[in-house]
A and B are shown apart, each in its own frame.
With several copies, the nearest count.
Chain A
Amino acid sequence: MSIGIGNRGNVQGLTTHKLGCIRGERAVFAGLDLALNPGRAMLLSGPNGSGKSSLLRVLAGLLPAAGGRVDWEGTDVTEDRDGHRARVAYIGHADPLKPSLTAAENLAFWAKLYGFDPDIEPALFQFAIEPLADVPVRYLSAGQRRRVTLARLALGQNSQAGPTLWLLDEPATGLDPGAVSMLANTILAHLSNEGVAIISTHGGRLDALLNDHADRFDMHEFAA
């Protein structure tokens, strides 16, 4: 698990130290150490309720850690919250899309807000949803919605200074095999760009496609 730990002076990528998380007065995990070098993905597995989503939220800074610390390149991320937020791309279980806006409007909003390249065409193309660009999200099927959500990753990737730390919570939910390949290619391109990705998963095509570039991490061991 501990790749790259040791020479604290010149640590790269993401490391956590004795990280803990409490939700609703119950400890979800504790004493969790992980380390991830640039260019690598980490596949987070573990049974339902083992705390994968919670861990990703702690890493994103959305949930306060109950103990321990998260470091980026050796420095605690809580010291520079704005810097950390600019580094993170987070995909949760839910699709943050407005049903009454079209797919293109939804994406364009996030692109502009994050200061990404406002040309969303390539991102739509990357997930094969150009034909749906002008359809209100209300009418999209479950998998089509997920594609629109994921196209946000492509937006950041196609811009300079996009996020380097991708935190993806079961991103392949509802995707057909073709779309899973598109997602895998997007992630691989990110990794080849010295990016870091942590991806929760229950196994499946995405795991297989990322296998050569990913470490595995089982939450089960850290259940509190």
Chain B
Amino acid sequence: MIGLCLLIRRDLRLAFRGGTDAMMGVIFFVLAAILFPFGVGPDAAILPRIGGGIIWVVALLAALLSLERMFAGDHEDGSLDLLYLSPVSLGQLALAKAIAHWLTSGVLLLIASPVLALLYNLPSSAFLPLVATMALGTPTLSLVGAIGAALTLGARRGGVLLALLLLPLYIPVLIFDAGAIDGAIAGRDITPQLMILGGFLLAALALAPWATAAALRQAIE
């Protein structure tokens, strides 16, 4: 536990000092959300219709963005060797990295999303579902993303590969998120979608650190 906190604190500090591009996520999120109305045209009728989906897609892209360098810095400067030799297990390291990634991207997206909902004129009934899906969905993105980041560490064309690997894994999350928001706007009960998102999160929590650790072990050589 001490090791976990220590690792999270270090990553947060690095993100804050600009050592990593973790903060990139939110900025990207906000910028993209600002750009879409320009691209699509400020049609009052169409924005609320597509707003929920756009917010989610952008959140997903933002998560993808900062993932590539999740382990790359530590790999390049030899820190990963030392982390492996330390008393902290690779599973804990994976979990810590995912939590730090979520804190520097997911949480901020979570906080920013109501603002964007306002920007897009989403009906007020969509606010709570949006925040709820963000809260359940973004940690899954970080956890699953860690697997991809570890798998592609040191690979040729790592970035492209990462996107290729994660896209199919992210799509189910996206489908249920968007489904929940649409459902909420249409006045339907969205408990099933939220349950499924919660299930994804639990599954990711159980499996992702293990898979990430297995992938990291291969990357150290």
> Which A residues fall within an 8 A CB radius of B?
57, 60-64, 82, 85-86, 88, 90, 92-101, 105, 109-110, 112-115
Contacts and interface: CB of A to CB of B under 8 A. Distances in A.
A70 to B, nearest CB: 15
Contacts of B73: 98
Chain B interface size band reads 20 to 34
Given A99-B19, A101-B13, A113-B6, A92 B81 contact: yes
Contact of A114 (B74, B76, B86): B86
B82 A96 contact: yes
Contact of A95 (B78, B86, B156, B220): B78
A122 B156 CA distance: 31
A109 B6 contact: yes
Contacts of B43: none
A152 B143 CA distance: 31
5 contacts: A57-B221, A96-B74, A96-B82, A100-B17, A101-B17
| Shortest beta-carbon contacts, A-B, top 6 | A100-B17, A100-B19, A94-B78, A96-B79, A96-B78, A92-B78
B19 A60 contact: no
Contacts of B82: 90, 96, 110
A193 to B, nearest CB: 20
A222 to B, nearest CB: 20
Interface of B: 2-3, 6-7, 10, 13-14, 17-19, 73-74, 76-79, 81-88, 156, 220-221
Contacts of A97: 77
B105 to A, nearest CB: 19
Of B6, B77, B156, the most chain A CB neighbours within 10 A belong to: B77
Given A62-B221, A113-B83, 6 more contacts: A63-B221, A85-B85, A86-B87, A94-B76, A101-B19, A113-B7
Contact of B81 (A62, A101, A112, A114): A62
Contacts of B19: 98-101
